[in-house]
């Protein structure tokens, strides 16, 4: 691929910068999911009305149909403008919607896609389970076919935004006696259905962003199955590909900006004179550059094949672990001010505490290493 941007792409960057400068909310996004839900919906609606929602979605489905290079430009400017995280809209916009576009029926697309883009319907992801974690093939939640419905029983855990969600991308075992990746189905679950119980999980940072979800004879129409009964593994792989391939580009850009800000902070408070801190910051700057190169390589692969490959797991793992080191450095540079920290007063401590979840979200670090070992390095399967 050509490294650099064309004149049209540079012009597009100016358009992004101008719109963000005029429209980024002055107020901070609330940190707790319940407190933030109205903010998230309003910001998503603002993006939609201006044509910036679903920038990677096809125009036929209400998106902007931008190239992946333009997506990167938008995300870079978005991070530089300190625009708010899309929060509760993350699942629907970044991988729920794209999964529907790739696998759903016309009826499913017509109903759900506009609501996702406008911020009218919040989605969550029902993949991880107690006892299985991010091992998708270890799913035990079942869906029994009765007439034209599935009767679902089981439990999911670490479900981000479940307590504020309207719909869920839910993977269940619909073939009795099946094991591992066989006999699974990907279904659209109405989170307001009778039989669903949601217990929010309070994190160490004080926020309730995750939840455990219980299903007790929850009835879901067979019409909500995406990609056909028993094809859940294939559909789920496309979901995870979208999530790991492009869903975290914004995090990478945020990491790059934060490292430069930390270097400036260390120079300002004199801590840059500590050789250990200077070395660590230099290492982070180099790793950010390496991550950017890997991302551009992955983008080149997506342009060539149309789908992110298993290489996206390298980027996902590297992004999350580098992010944790950056957040730890931010707290270190606070010095004695960290002792007087009160929740909500400084993003650095809250980001540091939230960062412990980064190597769990979207598949644990161990799962990413399994994928890298098996699909990229050709090592024997671990299970």
End-to-end alpha-carbon separation of the chain, Å? Answer: 37
Closest CA to 144 of 218, 233, 214: 218
- Cα–Cα distance for residue pair 154/381, rounded to 1 Å: 27
DSSP letter for 375, please: I
Catalytic hit among 77, 129, 243, 327: 243
DSSP letter for 31, please: S
Do the Cβ atoms of 125 and 159 come closer than 8 Å? yes
Q: Structure tokens of 237? A: 């792989």
Closest CA to 211 of 36, 33, 349: 33
Do the Cβ atoms of 23 and 46 come closer than 8 Å? yes
Closest CA to 85 of 327, 240, 317, 251: 251
- 336 annotated active-site: no
DSSP letter for 202, please: -
Numbers of helices and strands, H then E, in the chain: 12, 8
Closest CA to 333 of 346, 321, 318, 320: 346
What are the catalytic residues? 243
């Amino acid at each position: 691929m050509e490294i650099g941007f064309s004149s049209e792409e540079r012009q597009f960057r100016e358009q992004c910068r101008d719109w963000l400068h005029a429209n980024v909310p002055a107020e901070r996004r609330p940190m707790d999911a319940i407190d933030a839900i109205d903010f998230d919906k309003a910001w998503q609606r603002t993006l939609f009305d201006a044509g910036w929602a679903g920038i990677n979605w096809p125009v036929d489905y209400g998106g902007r149909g931008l190239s992946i290079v333009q997506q990167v430009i938008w995300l870079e400017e978005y991070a530089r403008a300190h625009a708010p995280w899309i929060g509760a809209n993350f699942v629907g916009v970044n991988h729920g919607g794209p999964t529907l576009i790739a696998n759903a029926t016309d009826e499913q697309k017509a109903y759900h896609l506009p609501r996702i883009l406008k911020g009218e319907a919040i989605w969550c992801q029902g993949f991880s389970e107690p006892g299985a974690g991010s091992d998708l093939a270890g799913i035990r939640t079942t869906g029994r076919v009765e007439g034209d419905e599935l009767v679902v029983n089981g439990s999911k855990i670490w479900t981000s935004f479940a307590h504020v969600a309207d719909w869920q991308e839910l993977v269940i075992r619909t073939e009795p006696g099946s094991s591992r990746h066989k006999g699974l189905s990907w279904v659209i679950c109405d989170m307001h259905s009778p039989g669903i119980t949601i217990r929010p999980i309070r994190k160490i940072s004080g926020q309730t962003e995750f939840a455990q979800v219980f299903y007790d004879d929850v009835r879901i129409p067979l019409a909500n199955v995406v990609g056909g009964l028993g094809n859940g593994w294939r559909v789920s792989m496309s979901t995870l590909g979208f999530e790991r391939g492009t869903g975290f580009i914004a995090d990478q850009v945020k990491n790059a900006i934060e490292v430069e800000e930390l270097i400036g902070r260390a120079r300002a408070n004199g801590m840059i004179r500590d050789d250990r801190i200077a070395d660590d910051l230099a290492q982070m700057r180099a790793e950010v550059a390496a991550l950017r190169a890997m991302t551009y390589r992955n983008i080149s692969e997506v342009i060539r094949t149309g789908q992110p490959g298993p290489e996206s797991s390298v980027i996902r793992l590297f992004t999350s672990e580098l992010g944790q080191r950056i957040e730890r450095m931010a707290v270190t540079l606070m010095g004695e001010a960290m002792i007087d920290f009160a929740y909500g007063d400084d993003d650095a401590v809250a980001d540091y505490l939230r960062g412990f979840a980064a190597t769990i979200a979207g598949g644990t670090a161990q799962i990413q290493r399994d994928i890298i070992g098996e699909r990229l390095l050709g090592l024997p399967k671990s299970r």
